């Protein structure tokens, strides 16, 4: 019989749900791991977004009429886009217990001579400020370069999203420029800063 996996940090056996969840991981860090969503995640995912409505809505595009961005529709979208030619959606799960703390997406994957994707992300309100997103972004960039074989990753951030700018900076992205009226957020065309990194610069020698 195979002995249960042990959490090296705590010396305790991993619970079976966490073991199953970790087996699906595409990237594993110290604080979090990234894995694709499965149907069984629906309740936990929706509850996390529900509890973070105000925290998230401010930074997201207005939904299409009839689409509930904080209900089942949002989870259906994750399942639909989680593994396509042009996108990946990954849940950010806490390494200690497997709890879903957020989501990171690699979208608009373009091949040919560009080999690029855009990354978008969020963390549930109660899980912010713990370094989860910085590590998740590093893991996603690693995944983009090493697993997907991409060359460039771009993140667009509103100038007043100080937490997200700090995440980009800590993860080693470079501020490239400023795009006027770049993306429609909350119903208005919002300026964004363009942060990026190419494979040649990865991994950064030291994080900020
Ligand atoms: C932005 C977001 C993903 C950050 O996630 P997180 O897990 O809290 O990020 P981390 O803990 O890894 O790092 C946050 C950093 O921002 C800093 N920060 C937070 N609020 C800040 C503020 N108002 N001003 C300046 N820095 C701030 C934190 O101090 C921390 O930096 P530090 O480690 O140097 O102290 C999260 O707040 C979120 O989901 N926001 C809503 C959705 C969103 O904005 N998505 C991104 C759209 S581009």
> What domains can you pick out in the chain, each with its CATH number?
16-151 (3.40.630.30)
Classify 145 as helix, strand or coil: helix
Using CA atoms, how far residue 185 sits from 59, 62, 156, in Å, is 6, 7, 12
Could you tell me whether strands 116-123 and 152-157 are parallel, antiparallel, or unpaired per DSSP bridges? parallel
Residue 165 C-alpha to ligand 1 middle, in angstroms?
7
Using CA atoms, how far residue 154 sits from 22, 71, 98, 120, 133, in Å, is 27, 28, 28, 9, 16
Q: Using the 8-state DSSP alphabet, how is residue 13 labeled?
A: B
**Distance of alpha carbon 163 from the chain centroid:** 14
Residues in the ligand 1 pocket, defined by CB under 6 Å: 55-56, 59, 121-123, 128-134, 157, 161-164, 166-167
Smallest CA separation from ligand 1 atom 16, residue: 163
pLDDT tens string 66-115: 999 999 999 999 999 999 999 999 999 999 999 999 999 999 999 999 99
pLDDT tens string 21-67: 999 999 999 999 999 999 999 999 999 999 999 999 999 999 999 99
Residue 122 C-alpha to ligand 1 middle, in angstroms?
9
Q: Which residue has the tokens 């969840």?
A: 21
pTM: 0.94
| 100 CB burial (10 A radius; 0-12, 13-18, 19+) | buried
Could you tell me whether strands 100-110 and 87-94 are parallel, antiparallel, or unpaired per DSSP bridges? antiparallel
């Amino acid at each position: 019989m195979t002995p249960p996996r042990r959490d090296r940090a705590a010396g305790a056996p991993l619970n079976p749900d966490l073991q199953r969840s970790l087996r699906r991981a595409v990237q594993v860090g110290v604080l979090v791991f990234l894995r694709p969503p499965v149907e069984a995640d629906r309740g936990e995912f929706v509850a996390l977004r529900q509890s973070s409505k105000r925290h998230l809505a401010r930074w997201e595009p207005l939904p299409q009429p009839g689409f509930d961005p904080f209900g089942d529709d949002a989870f259906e979208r994750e399942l639909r886009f989680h593994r396509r030619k042009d996108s990946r959606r990954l849940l950010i799960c806490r390494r200690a217990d497997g709890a879903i703390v957020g989501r990171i997406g690699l979208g608009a994957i373009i091949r040919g001579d560009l080999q690029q994707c855009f990354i978008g992300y969020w963390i549930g309100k109660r899980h912010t400020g713990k370094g989860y997103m910085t590590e998740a972004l590093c893991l996603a960039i690693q995944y983009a370069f090493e697993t997907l074989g991409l060359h460039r990753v771009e993140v667009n951030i509103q100038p007043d999203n100080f937490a997200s700018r700090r995440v980009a900076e800590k993860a080693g992205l470079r501020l490239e420029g400023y795009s006027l009226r770049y993306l429609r957020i909350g119903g208005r065309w919002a300026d964004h800063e363009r942060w990026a990194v190419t494979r040649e610069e990865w991994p950064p020698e030291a994080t900020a």
